[in-house]
Amino acid sequence: MKIQRKLTPEEFKAIKPRLKRMSQRNVDAAYQVLVNDKTQSEIARELGVTQQSIGDAVNAVWKHFQKHYEQESGLAIPSDWIKVSALLPPEMAKVVTQMEKSARDKLRKDQR
């Protein structure tokens, strides 16, 4: 199963200052994939570039997101962790939020 990386517009905006060395075209392409759920092949066709170049841009932005998260939270994100975004009823959202907090607390303890 391929893991889909996803960012919210706010998360992307928070890391944008870290992307100054990237071309605006690559930043925009990564935004389309990570925030707007477009496929890498779709963006590559639109821009007339290879899917690999779009994948490289997405990977670069994702690494900046990981570094940003690690600096903000003090935690290194394990490579097998998946970022989840979902709309849920309040009672289910509370359960998911508690699960995330428990996982983060365990990770913090393990990384000490």
pLDDT of residue 78: 84
Give per-10-residue mean pLDDT for the chain (112 aa).
Answer: 79 96 97 96 97 97 92 84 85 92 88 79
Q: Quote the domain boundaries for residue 101.
A: 9-110
Q: What is the CATH number of the domain that holds 23?
A: 1.10.10.2690
Whether residue 4 is contained in a domain is answered as no
Whether residue 56 is contained in a domain is answered as yes
Whether residue 102 is contained in a domain is answered as yes
Whether residue 19 is contained in a domain is answered as yes
CB 96 within 8 A of CB 65: no
Whether residue 43 is contained in a domain is answered as yes
Domains of the chain: total: 1
pLDDT of residue 2: 58
